[in-house]
Amino acid sequence: MEKIKVGIIGAGGYGGCGAIELLHNHPHAEIAALIDKQDVGKPISDLYPHLTGFCDLPIISPDDPDCPDDFQVVFFATPDGVGQNAAPSWLKKGAKVVDYSGDFRFNDLHTYKGYAARIGRTQDHSSPDLLPQSVYGLTELHRSEISRSSLVGNPGCFAVSCILGLSPAIKSKIIEEDSIICDAKTGVSGAGKNPTPAFHYPARYDAMNAYKISGHQHVYEVERELGLLADHDIRITFTPHVVPLCRGILTTIYAQLGAGQNLKSVEEVYQSFYKDDVFVRVFGPEKPQVSVNVRGSNFCNISLNVDERTGKLIVVSLVDNLVKGQAGSAVQNMNIMFGLEETTGLLHPGIYP
């Protein structure tokens, strides 16, 4: 089998680096070009010296007339607004597209506009006609649509942990929907490669904080997906926090259990929901749930707990924000889009400690 040629746009960021690491190990895909507007001409291994000898491709400008374009799939590891401009031309050339941003996470214009307003984006979507054919790239929920699609909106990192942590409960209607609170803690790598005062080592090494309280943009896709599962609108309270570690999102999800539910019934619901999903591991309350357990891997660990005193279901949902929360999901989606085994190139445990 000839290898799938992958072009990565926005290759110089953590999202590009993560895709390179994963595709290096992938038996049926290869990196065809690394495209970015910054650091043009430099080998990627200058930016990421651990890649020396593994991937030394130079970064090409998207404006370079010699920029190759014979890819079977393009990863847009770029911020909002980039993929929606460039996707049409790539699709026309026959490439499939996986976009990391919010550009194609909502398959109707109305919902996208609500999202766009939240992130302060005032321009219209530049490819609104593509939205209906885009698929939300959380594989566990949309595997079949992804397999038939050429355009996938890769999910947000927080959203992955929230949606995987809540979907079985919503689908099976075992919780009170208006009682959902997601308290998320993320490592710093989620903020990307560019240095900022808040993530300067001395400011961060012994510091944690809440931010965008009640206002983070990922809440939109969480509510969207939960709404699709429930078949009506759902609103959640979501508060993100940054803690001083590098990789990992731990979301603690609270919801009032419905009448007659208990830990056992909850476990059955979750085990059943994820019975065919290799990358979701469901644990009971006795299991430790430490973020490092999923570091460097494409797994989501879910721990189920019930507070008998208050009748609350408490789900702890863990992902590595750079793998299952980003590049890993992108490769998982690529596998499905090309008819490969979903786990190809993704079955490794990470390293510890």
Footprint (CB under 8 A) of a copy of itself, residues 280-319? 281, 285, 287-297, 301, 303, 305-310, 312, 314, 316
Q: How far is the CB of 340 from a copy of itself (least distance, A)?
A: 19
Does 28 bind a copy of itself (CB under 8 A)? Our answer is no
Q: Tell me if residue 157 is catalytic.
A: yes
Footprint (CB under 8 A) of a copy of itself, residues 130-189? 178-179, 181, 183, 185, 187-189
Helices 14-24, 328-337: axis angle to 10 degrees equals 50
Does 344 bind a copy of itself (CB under 8 A)? Our answer is no
Nearest-CA neighbor of 96 among 338, 353, 312? 338
- Please identify, using beta-carbon distances, which residue of 288 and 339 lies nearer to a copy of itself: 288
Helices 157-171, 218-230: axis angle to 10 degrees equals 20
Nearest-CA neighbor of 97 among 146, 29, 140? 146
Active-site hit among 17, 157, 182, 300:
157
Does 271 bind a copy of itself (CB under 8 A)? Our answer is no
Interacting residue with a copy of itself among 62, 81, 88, 350 (CB under 8 A): 350
Q: How far apart are the first and last CA of the chain?
A: 37
Does 348 bind a copy of itself (CB under 8 A)? Our answer is yes
- Please identify, using beta-carbon distances, which residue of 151 and 322 lies nearer to a copy of itself: 322
- Please identify, using beta-carbon distances, which residue of 217 and 303 lies nearer to a copy of itself: 303
- Please identify, using beta-carbon distances, which residue of 227 and 350 lies nearer to a copy of itself: 350
Nearest-CA neighbor of 116 among 80, 153, 82? 80
Compute the residue count for the chain.
Answer: 353
Interacting residue with a copy of itself among 123, 196, 262, 271 (CB under 8 A): 196
Does 247 bind a copy of itself (CB under 8 A)? Our answer is yes
Nearest-CA neighbor of 214 among 259, 182, 261, 174? 182
Per-residue CA distances from 249 to 143, 223, 246, 301, 317 (Å): 23, 19, 10, 11, 8
Question: Hey, which residues are catalytic here?
Answer: 157
